[in-house]
Amino acid sequence: MVFQEAFEWYIAVYLFLAGVGAGAIVAAVLADMYDREKYLSFIKAASVIGMPLVSIGIFFLYIDLGQGMWKPWLLLLLFVNPTSAISWGTGILTLFTIFSMLYAVYNLGLSRYFRFAGGWLPRLLDGMGGSGWMRWMLVITGICTAGYTAVLLGVLRAIPFWHQTALPILFIISATSTGISGAMIVRELAFRTEDSMHKIETTHFYLIVLEILLLAGMFFIAMQGVPEMQFSAKSLLNGRFAIEFWVVLVFLGLLVPAVVFALGESGRLHLKGGKLIFFEALVLLGGYFLRFLIVHAGVYTQKFTDYIQ
Amino acid sequence: MKKKYAMAYIVDRCVDCKACMVACKAEWEVPEDKFRTHIDTGVSPDYTDTMRMHFLPHQCNHCDDAPCVTVCPTKASYKREDGIVSVNQKICVGCKYCIVSCPYDARFFNHELGVAEKCTFCLPRIAEGLAPACVTTCPGNVRVFGDINDPNSEISALLRDAATNHYKVWKLRQDLGTRPNIYYIQK
Ligand code: SF4
Ligand code: SF4
């Protein structure tokens, strides 16, 4: 069995940051649709990280490209092949970046800095950023961005562990969960209000539980899968990535936050300040390791001597 | 009729001397730690009296339905009229997506050039009427290269012969739908 080594940690960072940025915006827009006034601090915090994190993620992809630095004009060609998932992703990410920028300008009241040429620009920007269709476009392109990061891997038949439908669902859930964490941290640092974020916290708790269940399900299925898939799964469960998998992803990234948030749910713990930031950061750490481990556990279809009878 | 290049390996002639790997490397200045063609070794059937070692050459299969071509965002990877799957290094952006998409692990990243690289069936050599370097070098005559659309080519004759004599003929991982163009023959 041969582990793929072409996609390395740069790609994992790209998938992770694109997920956090998109997840934060999707969570914020849903909160916005529900009750804008109440969740304004959360919406603002998510707007601060949404577009920038996706852009930083794209930057990691860019420096990973063999030719990104030498022939940047080739990036235009990333759009040209309709059968390539990278081309779909480039389109989706471009749209999402533009929409989330407009949304951030509106939420953070930045349009006033564009007051020239007769003042029509701020009105236009706010009109677009605050419109109902923009919210829907953000939800759609945001979910597509988060899901795409897994579809990118999932379309590859060459690596059975990636070639599974559960992956995009897992990545969308993880993106939303890490997006909420990112926004909660920024809110705590910069926009703290006394408003209760209870509904968001509850949602966050259930997302983490769902992620644990889905991950467990994925492993049960992978262990019954083709040999390459089993090999990938075992490399995480008791092979070369086992320590990172159990300690960082499962324990620190999922179980600890799940227990802490469960205590919060039942009212036995009230998280705020440094403690909140710490546990939300654990979720982010788990989110990164989820991508990192899935990328690295990819094993090519079986070597061929096994096919000689 | 259009040309369609393919290669066959008569696998039971391979002695794992790796001359093909060296010839390919010398011909194309392949980076130090990489090879465009490999020899896999395997033992089968495991732990029995008849257990024996097998040597299996492999390289790019120049698939008819090549995933590396499908996933390449810039269309740098493409399938030529004559069946050869090629990489246009001028427009390859070095995203490595083709590398992870190939079920045969036939591609690698050339760190010096920043692009994806793989076997080209020795395109410049065959344009001059020469055989690929690995074919010329192989001391066991394992490798047979040619145009399978030409009934008089050596490879067509070999495949006909294999069919009449009921030799075992197969391609790698046909279940994946890539329609490879490397034939494995066991006499
Ligand atoms: S063997 Fe791999 S690199 Fe060669 S054509 Fe097929 S998929 Fe592409
Ligand atoms: S590395 Fe080059 S040839 Fe391969 S998919 Fe990317 S752009 Fe295409």
If DSSP states are collapsed to H, E and C, what string results for B88-152?
CCCCCCCCCHHHHHCCCCCCEEECCCCEEECCCCCHHHHHCCCCCHHHHHCCCCCEEEEECCCCC
Q: B104 to each of A84, A136, A175, B157, B165, how far by Cα in Å?
A: 19, 42, 32, 26, 29
pTM of the full structure: 0.92
Pick the residue of B10, B40, B53, B96 with the most A CBs within 10 A to test the interface with A by mutation: B96
Which residues in chain B (81-100) have CB-CB distances under 8 A to chain A?
Answer: 91-97, 99-100
Counting ligand 1 atoms within 8 A of each CB, the residue from B69, B85, B86, B105 with the most, and so the one to mutate, is B85
Q: Please count the residues of chain B.
A: 187
pLDDT bin (cut points 50, 70, 90) of residue B127 is: very high
Identify the pLDDT of residue B114: 92
Which residue is closest to B78 within chain A, CA to CA?
Answer: A81
What does the block give as tokens for B47? 């732990």
* Mean pLDDT, residues B7-19 taken together: 93
The answer to whether B51 contacts chain A (CB < 8 Å) is no
* Mean pLDDT, residues A51-77 taken together: 87
Ordered by start, the domain boundaries in chain B are 5-186
* Mean pLDDT, residues B121-127 taken together: 94
- Is the per-residue pLDDT at A1 higher than 90? no
Query: In sequence order, what are the residues at sequence separation of 6 or more whose Cβ sits closer than 8 angstroms to the Cβ of residue A140?
Result: none
Query: Average pLDDT over chain B, rounded to whole?
Result: 92
Interchain pair A65, B113: CB under 8 A: no
Interchain pair B109, A65: CB under 8 A: no
Interchain pair B54, A305: CB under 8 A: yes
What does the block give as tokens for B154? 């050596």
Asked whether the beta carbons of A130 and A77 are under 8 A apart, the reply is: no
Interchain pair B71, A85: CB under 8 A: yes
CATH class of the domain comprising B5-186 = alpha beta
Atom of ligand 2 nearest to the CA of B87: 3
Q: How many CB atoms lie within 10 A of CB B129?
A: 6
Q: Is the CB of B72 under 6 A from ligand 1?
A: no
The answer to whether A202 contacts chain B (CB < 8 Å) is no
Global ipTM: 0.90
pLDDT bin (cut points 50, 70, 90) of residue B48 is: confident
Asked whether the beta carbons of B83 and B66 are under 8 A apart, the reply is: no
The answer to whether B146 contacts chain A (CB < 8 Å) is no
Query: What are the tens digits of pLDDT across the range A130-181?
Result: 888 999 999 999 999 999 999 999 999 999 999 999 999 999 999 999 999 9
Asked whether the beta carbons of B141 and B13 are under 8 A apart, the reply is: yes
- Is the per-residue pLDDT at B163 higher than 90? yes
CATH class of the domain comprising A2-308 = mainly alpha
Q: How many CB atoms lie within 10 A of CB A132?
A: 8
Identify the pLDDT of residue A117: 64
Asked whether the beta carbons of B31 and B110 are under 8 A apart, the reply is: yes
User: CA A228 to CA A244: how far, in whole Å?
Assistant: 20
User: CA B101 to CA B103: how far, in whole Å?
Assistant: 6
Query: Average pLDDT over chain A, rounded to whole?
Result: 91
Q: In chain B, which residues have their Cβ closer than 8 Å to the Cβ of A71? A: 93
Interchain pair A66, B96: CB under 8 A: yes
Most confident of A12-26, A264-278, B161-175: A12-26
Q: How far B109 CA sits from the closest chain A CA (Å)?
A: 7
Query: In sequence order, what are the residues at sequence separation of 6 or more whose Cβ sits closer than 8 angstroms to the Cβ of residue B175?
Result: none
Ligand 2 neighbours, Cβ below 6 Å, are B 71-74, 76-77, 87, 92-98, 115-116
Which residue type sits at B182?
I
Helix (H) or strand (E) holding B85: strand B85-87
Query: What are the tens digits of pLDDT across the range B96-113?
Result: 999 999 999 899 999 999
pLDDT bin (cut points 50, 70, 90) of residue A67 is: confident
What does the block give as tokens for A130? 């605050």
pLDDT bin (cut points 50, 70, 90) of residue B40 is: confident
The answer to whether B105 contacts chain A (CB < 8 Å) is yes
CA angle, residues A36, A284, A220, in degrees to nearest 5: 110
Identify the pLDDT of residue A309: 52
Q: How far A232 CA sits from the closest chain B CA (Å)?
A: 15
Identify the pLDDT of residue A78: 84
Which residues in chain A (66-105) have CB-CB distances under 8 A to chain B?
Answer: 66-68, 70-71, 74-75, 77-81, 83-87, 90
Q: How far A97 CA sits from the closest chain B CA (Å)?
A: 20
Q: How far does residue A188's CA lie from ligand 1's centre (Å)?
A: 50
* Mean pLDDT, residues A198-209 taken together: 94
